[in-house]
């Protein structure tokens, strides 16, 4: 990504060759573009996992439900809205939870593409990059450890809220109590 998105890289060359050279820019160092570039790279990186999760969720829905809805006269969009989306709810919620936790821990992608110094000026700094810059690189190991603890507490809070409100709702009725 860092080679393709340089100012003289493949992305700008492709835009120039197809006549859209005015859309090219410095994708990595211009703060207005760098954040959008990061979001596009993360989307490209994570879309495969999301597709696999959604495919598994779709395969877990019995075909008989769709057939019954069609016999009852439901349109395609009614089936999607009233059957598919509600039954994919647990899958969508677990995907959202894993995405939030993953975004809190985002380090490697930003560090590799932007480096430890450029990420702050390009507007792509994350909590993990901040922890590295203020902790190890500045010699403030205590402060870096405190940032790590704050990141852990935020992740724990998100996990506990997910477990308390979302997971309990998804498991309600799925597990019978008192059975061994």
Q: How confident is the model at residue 120 (pLDDT cuts 50, 70, 90)?
A: low
Please, are residues 5 and 11 in contact by the beta-carbon 8 Å criterion?
yes
pLDDT at 54 over 60: yes
- The model's pLDDT over 56-114, given as tens digits with 9 standing for 90+, comes to 999 999 999 999 999 999 999 999 999 999 899 889 988 988 888 888 888 888 888 87
Query: 17-21, 68-72, 91-95, 176-180: which has the minimum mean pLDDT?
Result: 176-180
Q: What is the DSSP-derived secondary structure letter of residue 80?
A: I
Please, are residues 135 and 145 in contact by the beta-carbon 8 Å criterion?
yes
- pLDDT at site 71: 93
Domain at 33-171, CATH homologous superfamily: MetI-like (1.10.3720.10)
pLDDT cut 70: percent of the chain above it: 89
DSSP assignment of the chain, as one string? -TTTTSTTSHHHHHHHHTT-GGG---TTT-HHHHHHHHHHHHHHHHHHHHHHHHHHHHHTS-HHHHHHHHHTT--HHHHIIIIIHHHHHHHHHHHHHHHHHHHHT--HHHHHHHHHHHHHHHT---HHHHHIIIIITTT-HHHHHHHHHHHHHHHHHHHHHIIIIIIHHHHTTTS-TT--
Summarize the confidence of residues 107-127 as an average pLDDT: 74
- The mean of the pLDDT values for the chain is 83
Instruction: Tell me if the pTM is above 0.95.
Output: no
pLDDT at 29 over 70: yes
Please tell me which of 11-20, 87-96, 129-138, 170-179 the model is most confident about, judged by mean pLDDT.
Answer: 87-96
- pLDDT at site 125: 77
């Amino acid at each position: 990504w860092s080679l393709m998105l340089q100012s003289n890289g493949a992305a700008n060359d492709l835009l120039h060759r197809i006549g859209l050279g005015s859309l090219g820019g410095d994708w990595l160092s211009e703060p207005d573009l760098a954040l959008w570039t990061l979001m596009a790279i993360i989307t490209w990186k994570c879309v495969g996992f999301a597709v696999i999760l959604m495919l598994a969720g779709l395969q877990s829905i019995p075909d008989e439900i769709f057939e019954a809805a069609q016999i009852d006269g439901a349109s395609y969009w009614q089936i999607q809205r009233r059957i598919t989306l509600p039954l994919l709810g647990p899958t969508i919620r677990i995907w959202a939870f894993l995405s939030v936790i993953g975004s809190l821990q985002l380090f490697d992608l930003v560090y590799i593409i932007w480096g430890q110094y450029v990420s702050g000026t390009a507007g792509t700094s994350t909590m993990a990059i901040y922890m590295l810059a203020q902790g190890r690189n500045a010699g403030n190991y205590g402060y870096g450890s405190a940032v790590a603890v704050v990141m852990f507490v935020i992740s724990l809070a998100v996990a506990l809220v997910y477990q308390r409100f979302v997971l309990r709702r998804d498991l309600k009725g799925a597990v019978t109590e008192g059975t061994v």
